[in-house]
């Protein structure tokens, strides 16, 4: 606060037709700088075979000695954790040596899909937007849902943090198969559709009023506060775009449900069903982009184990703990393999759904026991890429960022860009 100025109220608000949106604190804004008559002062599907993208990640990594083979190249030997994927060897590529160059243990896992820590996002042209959300921007309007973010709000460090918007806002996840089923297949009654339309119209008028008042406000504040306001207005524009997309799909019926609505059980038992619903979402072209995060609510007790997932991840190099972790990780990779097999079994244009879907699988944590975010476990499957290899990427000289691989995935999806996150080029 400038020493010569009186302290303004802690928050100003943009209000219109009964709704209030709080502004960031603007230190250069004083009550007497707003005109007395100011409202703000007073209230302060196209191609037949489209490209698709899926990303699956867990919070606590994998036991790398049981995942990575000894021999790079196409003739790599299978490992304990790769056995479930053996029949799909020609459909995926395993990478060793890729990461984002970030540190922070559990608190850095949120950078897995963006390459950028949230605290470092300010001032970057794209902030810490995640891979899926950048792709969703390019595909907006082509499907009912630009993307589907699936995960849990429970577990360590605040639940699912896989997807991030351009303005640095976490995309809240769809928490279970019941909610995902409703999103995909359950339509609104006619009476509720009218209410939805009225709600969209109301929200649209609110945003119109906010933009008008904000333009007036920008003339009355200094550059530092203009930057804050710009960030805020970016969030407002994101909401506006979401409303426009929802509006165009209000009268379009959803696909017919292939089975009855399921009930949520637990993340372990629900995982196969979540994968099945993701397949249906892609197959019905309800979306072309989906993410799934396996978090701290993946409870070992549902696999007959006693200790918690997070507790086991800090195994202290005790083999009995590692053995239990391997049971969990085997199960996760088995379900991932089953997902790939389903995609591969579904005809799509001149190929299969897997041929047209780039599927990333991995974690922002390489070693939860030591809180390491280096040398991340990463698999890329499908998408029309050439596969069948274990790529051992040099980790010292001329280090290749994981975002280089992400940039290649974006390009394949149809997003023509020269950079993403911390990329230095496409992956070669």
Q: Are residues 350 and 405 in the same domain?
A: yes
**HSE (side-chain half, CA atoms, 13 Å) at 317:** 1
**In the prediction, which pLDDT does 295 show?**
85
Whether residue 288 sits in one domain with residue 357:
yes
- Same-domain check for residues 115 and 74: yes
* Mean per-residue pLDDT, 174-191: 86
How far apart are alpha carbons 384 and 293 in whole angstroms? Answer: 24
428 in a structural domain: no
User: What does the pLDDT read at residue 155?
Assistant: 60
Q: Return the pLDDT at 182.
A: 95
Same domain, yes or no: 219 and 285: no
Domain that holds residue 107: 52-187+263-413
Q: Are residues 140 and 92 in the same domain?
A: yes
Final residue belonging to a domain, choices 202, 217, 245: 245
Dist CA 177 CA 401 (whole Å): 34
Residue 117, in any domain of the structure: yes
Residue 371 buriedness (CB in 10 A; 0-12 / 13-18 / 19+): middle
Region 206-230: what's the mean pLDDT? 67
Of 20-29, 76-85, 408-417, give the lowest mean pLDDT range: 20-29
Please check whether residues 106 and 227 belong to one and the same domain: no
Confidence of residue 395 (pLDDT cuts 50, 70, 90): confident
What is the rounded radius of gyration, in angstroms, for the C-alpha atoms of the chain? 23
Per-residue pLDDT, 387: 98
What band does 146 get if pLDDT is binned at 50, 70 and 90? very high
- DSSP 3-state of 118: helix
Residue 304 pLDDT: 93
Ranges assigned E (strand) in 217-261: none
Tally of CA atoms within 13 A in the half-sphere of 47 that contains its CB = 12
Report which of 288, 231, 248 is spatially closest to residue 53, judged by C-alpha positions: 288
* Position 334 pLDDT exceeds 50: yes
Instruction: Tell me what percent of the residues of the chain surpass a pLDDT of 70.
Output: 75
The H or E element that residue 264 is part of is none
Q: Examine residue 2 and state whether it is found in any structural domain, yes or no.
A: no
H-run or E-run covering 20: strand 19-22
- Do 142 and 218 fall into the same domain? no
**Range list of β-strands (E), 262-382:** 289-294, 347-348, 351-352, 357-363, 378-382
In this prediction, residue 424 carries a pLDDT of 94
Q: 149-187: string of b/e by CB count within 10 Å (b at 16+)?
A: bbbbeebbeebbbbbbbbbbbbbebbbbbbebbebbbee
Which of 30, 35, 33, 21 shows the shortest CA–CA distance to 2?
A: 30
Same-domain check for residues 396 and 278: yes
Which among 407, 155, 406, 413 is positioned nearest to 287, based on CA atoms? 413
Which band of pLDDT confidence, cut at 50, 70 and 90, is reported for residue 12? very low
Residues 6 or more apart in contact with residue 237 via CB below 8 angstroms: none
pTM of the model: 0.78
Question: What is the number of H-type helices and E-type strands within the chain?
Answer: 9, 11
Specify which of 46-55, 198-207, 270-279, 291-300 reaches the highest per-range mean pLDDT: 270-279
Residue 222 to residue 218: CA distance in whole angstroms: 8
57 or 193: which leads in pLDDT: 57
Pick the closest to residue 294 from 103, 52, 79, 55 (CA basis): 55
Residue 27 DSSP code:
T
**CA–CA separation, 387 and 385 (whole Å):** 6
62-92 pLDDT, tens digit per residue, is 999 999 999 999 999 999 999 999 999 999 9
**Residue 130 placed within a domain:** yes
Q: Are residues 176 and 89 in the same domain?
A: yes
Average pLDDT across the chain, whole number:
83
> Is the pLDDT confidence value at 208 over 90?
no
Residue 79 parent element (H or E): none
Residue 53 has a pLDDT of 98
Counting other chains too, the contacts that 119-122 makes at CB distance below 8 Å and 24 or more residues apart are: 121/168, 122/168, 122/231
Entry field: residues in the chain: 428
Residue 218 lies inside a defined structural domain of this protein: yes
CB atoms within 10 A of CB 90: 11
E strand or H helix that includes residue 323: helix 319-345
Does pLDDT of 17 surpass 80? no
Q: Is residue 128 part of a domain?
A: yes
* Together in a domain, 194 and 89: no
| pLDDT exceeds 80 at position 410 | yes
Please say if the pLDDT value at position 149 is more than 80: yes
The percentage of the chain sitting over the pLDDT mark of 90, rounded to a whole number, equals: 60
- pLDDT confidence of 122, banded at 50, 70, 90? confident
User: Band of the pLDDT at 194, cuts 50, 70, 90?
Assistant: low
- C-alpha span between 235 and 323 (Å, rounded): 45
Alpha-carbon gap, residue 239 to 35, rounded angstroms: 28
- Are 240 and 139 part of one and the same domain? no
DSSP for 135-178 reads: HHHHHTTTSS-S-EEE--S-SGGGS----B-TTSPBPPPB-SHH
**Does residue 357 carry a pLDDT above 80?**
yes
The domain spanning residue 128 has which CATH number?
A: 3.40.720.10
Residue 353 lies in a domain: yes
* 267-283 average pLDDT score: 97
User: Is the domain of 130 the same as that of 208?
Assistant: no
How many structural domains are present in the chain?
A: 2
């Amino acid at each position: 606060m400038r020493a010569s100025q009186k302290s303004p109220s802690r928050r100003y608000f943009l209000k219109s037709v009964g709704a209030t949106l709080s502004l960031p604190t603007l230190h250069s804004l004083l009550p007497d700088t707003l005109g007395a008559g100011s409202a703000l002062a007073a209230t302060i599907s196209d191609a037949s075979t489209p490209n698709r993208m899926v990303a699956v990640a867990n919070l606590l990594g994998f036991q790398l000695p049981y995942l990575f083979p000894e021999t790079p190249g196409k003739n790599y030997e299978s490992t304990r954790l790769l056995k479930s994927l053996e029949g799909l060897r020609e459909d995926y590529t395993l990478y060793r040596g890729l990461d984002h160059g970030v540190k922070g243990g559990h608190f850095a896992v949120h950078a897995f899909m963006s390459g950028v820590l949230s605290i470092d996002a300010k001032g970057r042209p794209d902030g810490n937007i995640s891979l899926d959300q950048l792709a969703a921007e390019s595909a907006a309007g082509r499907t009912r849902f630009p993307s589907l973010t699936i995960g849990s709000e429970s577990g360590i460090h605040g639940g699912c943090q896989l997807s991030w918007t351009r303005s640095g806002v976490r995309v809240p996840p769809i928490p279970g198969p019941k909610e995902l089923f409703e999103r995909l297949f359950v339509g609104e009654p006619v009476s509720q559709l009218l209410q939805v339309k009225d709600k969209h119209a109301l929200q649209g008028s609110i945003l119109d009023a906010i933009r008008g008042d904000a333009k007036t406000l920008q003339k009355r504040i200094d550059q530092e506060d203009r930057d804050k306001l710009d960030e805020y207005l970016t969030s407002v524009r994101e909401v506006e775009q979401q409303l426009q997309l929802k509006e165009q799909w209000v009268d379009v019926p959803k696909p017919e449900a292939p089975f009855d609505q399921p009930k949520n059980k637990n993340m372990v038992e629900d995982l196969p069903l979540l994968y099945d619903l993701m397949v249906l979402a892609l197959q019905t072209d309800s979306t072309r982009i989906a993410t799934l995060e396996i978090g701290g609510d993946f409870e070992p007790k549902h696999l007959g184990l006693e200790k918690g997932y997070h507790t086991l991840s800090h195994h202290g190099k005790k083999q009995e703990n590692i053995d239990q972790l391997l049971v969990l990780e085997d199960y996760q990779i088995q379900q991932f393999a089953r997902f790939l097999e389903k995609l591969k079994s579904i005809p799509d244009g001149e190929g299969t759904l897997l041929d047209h879907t780039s599927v990333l699988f991995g974690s922002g944590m390489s070693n939860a026991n030591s809180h390491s975010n280096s040398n991340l476990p990463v698999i890329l499957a499908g998408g029309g890429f050439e596969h069948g290899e274990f790529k051992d990427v040099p980790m010292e000289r001329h280090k290749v960022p994981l975002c280089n691989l992400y940039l290649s995935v974006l390009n394949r999806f149809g997003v023509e860009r020269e950079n993403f996150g911390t990329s230095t080029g496409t992956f070669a």
